[in-house]
A = this chain, B = another copy of it.
């Protein structure tokens, strides 16, 4: 649930007058994305999404995100395309915030994940990774290994408010991850936040990705670990190995995984679990009373972490060791 900034009709009309997209005929604040204000705009020519970037997005990162979407769209990856105004610039200002207009991506995000969603996702993620290989700009992953301990320190004293043993559990896991985090894996542009609400489908076909505002350069297989955690656990927190196998095998058909990547997957899955556990924990402990956005449960990711801690190798994800790699 979003829409933080209310845009007046006068401001909107002045803003849209900078583009060649026709006349505005409606503009509705939409309950999508929790970081920014999003509007669905109809002009007499087409539908668009207008995004106002709120304080969680660093303005200096916006050229990376918008440039990436443009790069991907040109390569045929289904995603919103930033629309340039008449002066050639897509990144503008509205209501004292950075703002951009993108094409409207059709489709709906799946509320209940079925196996076919996971195979569609795997193939699309691999195509996305390949398309990103020659994107020249880079952005470090600001939510990777080195950020987790400082984030944990901000929460540590209050971990027990969430669950008695949570602090010691995370502390031990950080020790493990710092000692075992893989390097030298194939890297490139990752979406890094491909939860179901960022992946649209029309019927059984994936229609595109949205919300590139965590995109960064990192190990490509880390992105797959994020997806596995976000798509392959059921609501009762059980792991659905069929979904994982479909996700990973569909991915590897498009971009084969090396043995090093397969071997790294369990530890990356643990790291991805810690990343979302910690950001959720921070939000849980720090959300203002009566905030619009209900914080997500950090313990969901403690359960996911627990599963991966018990994993020895990728056979636990439904793969035969040695059959998947390039």
Contact surface of A with B, Cβ cutoff 8 Å: 1, 3, 6, 8-10, 12, 23-32, 40, 42, 47, 104, 106-112, 200-203, 289-292
Contacts and interface: CB of A to CB of B under 8 A. Distances in A.
Nearest to A109: B9
Nearest to A49: B28
A289 B290 CA distance: 6
Given A25-B202, A28-B40, 16 more contacts: A1-B3, A1-B29, A3-B31, A9-B112, A9-B201, A10-B111, A25-B107, A26-B104, A27-B108, A28-B28, A28-B32, A30-B30, A30-B40, A40-B40, A289-B290, A290-B291
A34 B117 CA distance: 34
A111 B6 contact: yes
**6 residue pairs, one from A and one from B, having the closest CB atoms:** A290-B290, A29-B31, A8-B111, A25-B106, A28-B30, A3-B31
A159 to B, nearest CB: 24
Report the copy number of this chain in the oligomer: 2
Contacts of A107: 25-26
A42 B47 contact: yes
Given A3-B31, A25-B106, A30-B31, A111 B40 contact: no
A81 to B, nearest CB: 16
Nearest to A6: B111
Contacts of A291: 290
Nearest to A32: B28
A10 B204 CA distance: 12
A116 to B, nearest CB: 13
Contacts of A24: 108
A143 to B, nearest CB: 27
18 contacts: A1-B3, A1-B29, A3-B31, A8-B112, A9-B201, A25-B202, A26-B104, A26-B107, A26-B108, A26-B200, A27-B108, A28-B28, A28-B32, A30-B30, A30-B40, A31-B31, A40-B40, A292-B292
A9 B203 CA distance: 10
Contacts of A292: 1, 292
A32 B28 CA distance: 7
Nearest to A107: B26
A85 to B, nearest CB: 20
Contact of A110 (B6, B9, B47, B112): B9
A30 B29 contact: yes
Contacts of A10: 111-112
Nearest to A290: B290
